[in-house]
Amino acid sequence: MSRFFATGSDSESEESSSADEITPKAPGTTLKQSLLLSDDEEDTKRVVRSAKDKRFEELTNLIKTIRNAMKIRDMAKCLEEFEQLCRAFLKSKNIVDKEGVPSFYIRLLADLEDYLNLLWEDKEGKKKMNKNNAKALSTLRQKIRKYNRDYETEITAYKENPQESADEEEEKEAGDSGSSSDSDDDDDDDDDGVSAKAFLKKKPESAPDASKFLKSSKGSGEESSSSEDDDEGGWGSDPVGSGSESSDEDQGKSASLAVVFLKKTHESEKSADKKVSKRKKIKKEHLEEEPEEGEGEEVEGGWEKVKGGVCLVKEKPKMFAKGTEINIPVVVKKLNEILQARGKKGTDRAAQIELFNALAAITAENNLGQGILVKIKFNIIASLYDYNPNLAAFMKPDMWKKCLDCINELLDILFEDNNIFIGENIAEDSENLAISEQPFRVRGCILTLVERMDEEFTKIMQNTDPHSQEYVDNLKDEGKVCNIIDRLLDYLETKGSTEEICRVYLRRIMHTYYKFDYKTHRRSLGLPAESKSEQDQDESEGEDSAIIMDRLCKFIYAKDRTDRIRTCAILCHIYHHALHSRWYQARDLMLMSHLQDNIQHADPPVQILYNRTMVQLGICAFRQGMIKDAHNALLDIQSSGRAKELLGQGLLMRNMQERNAEQEKIEKRRQVPFHMHINLELLECVYLVSAMLLEIPYMAAHEFDARRRMISKQFHHQLRVGERQPLLGPPESMREHVVAASKAMKMGDWRTCHSFIINEKMNSKVWDLFPETQRVREMLVRKIQEESLRTYLFTYSSVYDSISMHTLSEMFQLEIPTVHSIISKMIINEELMASLDQPTQTVVMHRTEPTSLQNMALQLAEKLGSLVENNERVFDLKQGVYGGYFNRDQKGGYQQNKSYQRDQKGSYQQKHGGYQRGGYRNQNQNNY
């Protein structure tokens, strides 16, 4: 054997003897020692590693870099390292095909995908990211999802049991390191020829104090020597035996060096540390006991097992000492004692509610009277509201149920005993809680509690998924809420002030105004009731919602002193009228209230209510066939492009500069619950159809007018989008249907227009959502026929000398009186230059409209006139007042003495000869 492979040299024996003297030191010194040792042995030791170890080490290093980048949320670094990892894994394909995909690789893929999904869902965190990280996040998320499809089975297996996967990986690594050291160092090493991984994982022999600091060990220092000889722990075996002296020296040396490179000694310790770190991350309330191998073998001075994880609970204050006489002063004292802990840090709110309930039970047992019981009930309800200290948080279902029950119990007590007077103006000193001839006086306001309950119900609905069954279940509680409000309304009508009655009336109105009264609607149409159950019969025989709204709102109009309650009541009343197609009442109430003048000074919830009312008013006008009124009512909301936000039905994505996180939270609290939403697609469709019926005839009438204005910018935008499409297929969305219908109407083809507006797809999306569906469809067909007739006459009047009204009636399937009425209006308004011949029932065209060439000449003259005027105005600013050719008139404009003069209709006339123009039509045909 060559000297190179010999391990029993003098230098090594000196090193081993000096290494025996090394004792365990602080963790900070291990790196320095390891560096010194590696420098000493640099020339005498070589570690030969297999290709598998090299490839896997490269993968491991890249994985460590990725995990470090994940900790600091450096997505750009993660993306760069992940691409390198994929390339390195591709190079290791031959080894992976033989050995299989390593577990640590699968673990990284699973963890990275979960981590990216968490970051993607964190919207606030994404907003705070810089541009590079946000871009890298989306790119890496797409790549990892695509990459993980090839390893779905392995990732699923890992996610089902991640702990076992980690343990198997460690065992495999230990076994691989042992086998690789056997194969590689078979001819190279003697007794000391151990691989680097196995060498680091060896347990020291001369470390008597180490077992005291380890949580679990297999035995004492004597047993550790026997475990070293065992091959099952992943130790490198030595196939070629050498002398006993060298083996003893090697054992001493390896024991001392292992102290320096000490890693975790047993698998049980690794699993324990991993579990502890996981518990710290998840912040579990209770710790589970860990199964350990050496349970029976306890080491002296070791750790004692205790059941941990439960925090120390403060002692609950005892209710009453044994033998204490229970009377009202004692109960009040105990009540104040419990109240002192309210709002303090560390107070157990659930325990406080239990104490209040126990106190109420003791009061009822000892018959201390209803006065003290009412006071305790007030505090119970207040503590239920205080259970969630955060304003944005909503009540849990069990707390919500307790709150409803407690308010009902409080109302029961108030209805049973008429001698109880409650109010905010009653001072605590003047309370009368004892049973006496005088009535009970208790400080508290039941109206405030019910208003808070109503707000909590709104928060519950805002924070529930509207498409889940849970939302439907929560919505059923609205009946209970309305029942409580009705009971409070009955109570306050007898004992409350006018201001309190107005407040509770408004609460009742807010739960009524947006609901369509189907029973009243069916009754007005003379239809029988749908079901014959007792509850439905009671409801159908009950008071109509219109009568209830009228009674409540009129009381507020007369008695309320605050503008806000009266404004909300007026808006709700208008909304309810519009919802039930009472157009004229709704319109008159809106005009008489003059709310549109100063609504911009109201608070945001009232502005949202105003926007909802205007939208409902516009939809009502559309149902009644008032197309122009409908368009005017919906114009402000739809032209802004923020209908969703203005109606309180959601937030639009904005930059952090426009709205910070705090403002976003405030706006979310203003959102309207889902069951009160107005269908935005229906709203947009009504607006676009109204704009189409107004805009298309106007465009046909003013085709050559240079000063033509747009009625609806949004409608024109949709038309331009439709024109820019390179390939026009059949319309799919609602907007495409309206654009296609507009093009057909422009040509005077009402049948095609009708087929695009009213079909199965549009019926299911829009028209079937109206209460009187068939009536709305008939109205739409009628309007399309009338406006198509007007568009046809505007477009093709220059082609005809005369046209029969009978022909027009057949073309557009309208009655002759209707056609006569439409044409007469057009002639009166000077929109159509024609006359009616009554005996022959024909329309005779005057042919006074200018030709296209004449129209262009007139437009050119107008533009030249305005150009001259602007040019001279600029010249005047530079030079001062002109003299000579132009003179300034009284109105500040310029006129040539014997040139063009602007007429009343905004065009130019020449005084002496030439052309004369009044608009673009001229009554005198001889001038053309």
**Beta-carbon contacts of residue 224 (< 8 Å; ≥ 6 apart):** 203, 204, 205, 207, 218
What pLDDT score was predicted for residue 95?
87
903 alpha carbon, distance to own chain's centre: 58
Instruction: Over range 896-912, report the average pLDDT.
Output: 43
What's the whole-number mean pLDDT along residues 87-107?
87
Q: What is the pLDDT of residue 247?
A: 42
pLDDT of residue 305: 56
Specify the pLDDT at position 273: 56
Q: What is the pTM of this model?
A: 0.61
In the chain, what percentage of residues exceed pLDDT 90? 33
pLDDT at 4: 46
CA–CA separation, 518 and 771 (whole Å): 9
Greater confidence (537 vs 477) lies with 477
pLDDT tier at 576 (50, 70, 90 boundaries)? very high
Tens of pLDDT, residues 386-415: 888 777 788 888 999 999 999 999 999 999
pLDDT attached to residue 878: 82
By mean pLDDT, which of 154-168, 351-365, 514-528 is the weakest? 154-168
For residue 515, pLDDT over 80 is answered with: yes
Higher-confidence position of 765 and 520 = 765
Under 8 Å between Cβ of 529 and 540: yes
pLDDT at 271: 52
Residue 198 has a pLDDT of 42
Predicted pLDDT of residue 367: 84
Say if residues 424 and 444 touch (Cβ distance below 8 Å): yes
Q: Is pLDDT above 50 for 206?
A: no
The two three-digit tokens of residue 594, written as one number: 């003059």
SS3 1: coil
Instruction: Summarize pLDDT for 550-564 with one digit per residue, the tens.
Output: 999 999 999 988 889
Q: Quote the tokens at residue 128.
A: 């705070």
Q: What average pLDDT does the segment 258-268 reach? A: 46
Phi and psi at 45, nearest 5°, equal -120, 140
For the chain, percent of residues with pLDDT exceeding 70: 70
Least confident window among 260-274, 630-644, 653-667: 260-274
d(CA 609, CA 611): 5
pLDDT tens per residue across span 667-680? 888 899 999 999 99
- Distances in Å between the Cα of 243 and the Cα atoms of 8, 36, 240, 745 are 10, 29, 10, 107
What does the H/E/C string look like for 426-460? CCCCCCECCCCCCCEEEECCHHHHHHHHHHHHHHH
255 touches 206 (CB < 8 A): yes
Q: Give me 765's structure tokens.
A: 């999306």
Span 479-505, average pLDDT: 92
- pLDDT for the residue numbered 771: 86
Residue range 426-433: average pLDDT? 78
Count of alpha carbons within 13 angstroms of residue 515, beta-carbon side = 16
pLDDT mean over 464-493: 92
Mean pLDDT for the chain? 76
Specify the pLDDT at position 96: 86
Q: What is the pLDDT of residue 536?
A: 53
Tell whether the model's pLDDT for residue 761 goes beyond 80: yes
Q: Lowest mean pLDDT: which of 15-19, 75-79, 319-323?
A: 15-19
Query: In terms of pLDDT, which residue wins out, 665 or 895?
Result: 665
The pLDDT value given to residue 42? 46
Q: What is the mean pLDDT of residues 641-661?
A: 80
* The predicted structure's pLDDT at residue 216: 40
